[in-house]
Structure 1
Amino acid sequence: MAQAAPASGTPRTPGKTDRTTGTPGVLSPRAHAAVKLALPVVLGLVYGFWAAAIRRDTHAITGWNVLFGFVCAIAFGAVWAGLSIMAPRMRREVHALLWFAFTGIAFGFLYSQTGATVLRSVLMSLGIAASVFAVLFYRYYTHEDAEGRPIRS
């Protein structure tokens, strides 16, 4: 049995819809606020644990190693939170460039903890950061107009 397609501008499923895209809202505004607070903390802790584990390199866990992990976690989380607040207000080129720099620095620092040379760390982080830049620039370019406002469907 055939079913009629929804008219333009009407939601596809019952319930609340996102005003910019017309798609159903999955999370409540309260859940979005919680994610905005929790994401930098969780990612910072993962990054700090990862940095401390790389630096430890099968040796015993020491107080300095734990301190190093927490300092890395705080720095990563603070920069992530600052970028997630500041970057969306920038033009799409600068927005993608900020995430390019953050990704390159974060990955390069982790890679340098393995004992690799500075040149190898820089080259590896440039490769990773360039791919992040390409993906994010494409996403921002296809989802925003020239002034940086979201394109409505």
Structure 2
Amino acid sequence: MTQAAPTTGMPRRGPTPDIFSPQTHLMGRLAFPVVTGLIYGYWAAANRRSGGPITGWNLLFGFVTAVVFALVLFAVLTIASRLRREVHAVMWTAFMGIAFGFLYSQSGESILRCVAMSLSVAAVTFIVMFYRFYTHEDAAGHRIR
């Protein structure tokens, strides 16, 4: 039979030390949306050309998509953390549903299938995000440490 190990006398751990400088954190906050936007733009352009040749219009479409996605992601990352947990989850749900729906629509599928798939992705995103924010924040929206 197993028993729980005694915990008396064991030292409590403090918060995890921050080993990066503020400049590194700032660079990471800016680099994440840019890199993710470039990946998203490449993916959208690849879906649109359906394995055909890469053209100038396809490159332009990919870069415009990347810039728009990066700007919207940066705005969501900046604004969403200041909102209450329900609205925070809804904001991520809308972002993920729209982003997935746009990518899926570039593959040439019917609009009904695109809407159904993006709504299903949005529903799963809402469930996951609401659970995460509900278990990691208090009612006022402050993170529980």
Aligned: 1:33 with 2:38: no
SS of structure 1 residue aligned to 2:141: coil
Show structure 1 runs of 5+ residues with no match: 12-21
Aligned: 1:57 with 2:50: yes
Which of these residues, 132, 135, 149, is aligned with residue 128 of structure 2?
A: 135
Report the AA paired with residue 111 of structure 1.
Y
Report the AA paired with residue 48 of structure 1.
G
- Tell me the alpha carbon deviations over residues 112-149 of structure 1, each in whole angstroms, 9 at most, x when there is no partner: 11111111001101111111111111111011110001
Deviation at 1:60, TM superposition (A): 1.1
Aligned positions of 1:1-150 closer than 5 A: 4-7=9-12, 10-11=13-14, 22-150=15-143
CA shift in 2, pair 1:122/1:26, >3 Å: farther
**Which has the higher mean CA deviation after the structures are superposed, 130-139 or 100-109?**
130-139
Show structure 2 runs of 5+ residues with no match: 1-6
Deviation at 1:26, TM superposition (A): 4.8
Q: How high is the TM-score relative to the length of structure 2?
A: 0.89
Q: How high is the TM-score relative to the length of structure 1?
A: 0.85
Corresponding pairs, count: 139
**Which has the higher mean CA deviation after the structures are superposed, 54-63 or 64-73?**
54-63
RMSD: 1.7
1: CA distance, partners of 2:92 / 2:19: 26
Identity fraction in percent? 57
Which residue number corresponds to residue 14 of structure 1? Answer: none
CA shift in 2, pair 1:26/1:120, >3 Å: farther
2: CA distance, partners of 1:57 / 1:80: 26
